[in-house]
Amino acid sequence: MYQRYQDAMALVQKYGKPDLFLTMTCNPNWPEIKAELLPGQSPHDRPDLLTRIFHSKFDEMKIDILTKHVLGKVLAYPYVIEYQKRGLPHAHIVIILDENDKLRTLDYYDNILRVEIPDKRLEPRLYNGVLKHMIHGPCGMYNERSPCMTNGRCKRRFPKPFSSITTLGNDSYPVYRRREGESVPSERSDRVALEVRQGPNYDEVQQFIDGRWVCAPKALWKIFKFPMTKMTPSVERLQIQLPNKQQVRFYTFQDITNVLGDEYYSRTMLTQFFQLNVDDETAN
Ligand SMILES: [Zn+2]
């Protein structure tokens, strides 16, 4: 994971800071999933369906964003697939936009991003979706035992203050437009129960096996050979070595003096990278 992070930083070095961070989650109640269930089945009985339909919908979203450029021309992106505690897949994509499509004005932000609860009368479907899937909490004074609470404060800083317009912070996230509206009903959030036991029969091996949790959708994602991560343009890691300290590979039947005397065997990805920069102006 650390190497992937460094690869992503290589993209940032070349293309600049990311502009958008986008998350897509799997909804087990998607009609495409429900339509394929057999009588008596629930979506969680069919991790194969969850996985394949999420994969197809993620592909569609990638076409919209990376090929059709609906949010602006994309120069570079890494993405990663992760799993929620109940095993539903979700994707995170970090997007670096072309210089001409960067979000420079506040109107741009308001154009592609909304953090307000939609009007129940004007957009009932969106209103219901946002209330059902996108509300944090309750936490703070309404629920001090919420998992997001540390030292009496929500670590995700909810509730956010109202703001009549979007404003840009100094080298920080923008404060998005969040106009005061009618209050909305809110329900309790999900939770997970976990038990860690250390009794007379403490079994470290068993605890490791119990703790290494691969949920069914993740297992199927791997069985279907869907990619867990991707990055475009790809980043190639070069093995670094000091001059004349590279590894040399040869077969047992080869004569060692010939191998070491032959320039061909001293070539590595790193030496050839330097050579390409010497030979090819475009590479340089
Ligand atoms: Zn909170």
Q: Give the CA radius of gyration of the chain.
A: 26
Distance 54 CA to ligand 1 centre (A): 28
Amino acid at 33: I
Distance from residue 150's CA to the centre of ligand 1 (Å): 9
Distance CA 133, CA 235 (A): 35
Q: How large is the average pLDDT for residues 119-141? A: 88
How buried is 158 (Cβ within 10 angstroms: 0-12 exposed, 13-18 middle, 19+ buried)? middle
> How many whole angstroms from 27 Cα to the centroid of ligand 1?
22
Distance 180 CA to ligand 1 centre (A): 19
Q: How far is the CA of 155 from the centre of ligand 1 (A)?
A: 6
Average pLDDT over the chain reads: 87
Q: Which helix (H) or strand (E) holds 256?
A: helix 256-261
Provide the pLDDT for residue 33: 95
Give the pLDDT score at 194.
56
Question: When comparing pLDDT for 195 and 59, which is higher?
Answer: 59
Residue range 24-47, pLDDT digits in tens: 999 998 999 999 999 999 998 999
Domain ranges of the chain: 2-115+164-193+207-232, 240-284
Tell me the average pLDDT across 223-247. 90
Q: How far is the CA of 47 from the centre of ligand 1 (A)?
A: 30
Is 196 in a helix, a strand, or coil? coil
Kindly give the distance from the C-alpha atom of residue 4 to the centroid of ligand 1, in angstroms, as a whole number.
29
**Stretch among 41-55, 56-70, 146-160 having the lowest mean pLDDT:** 146-160
pTM of the model: 0.76
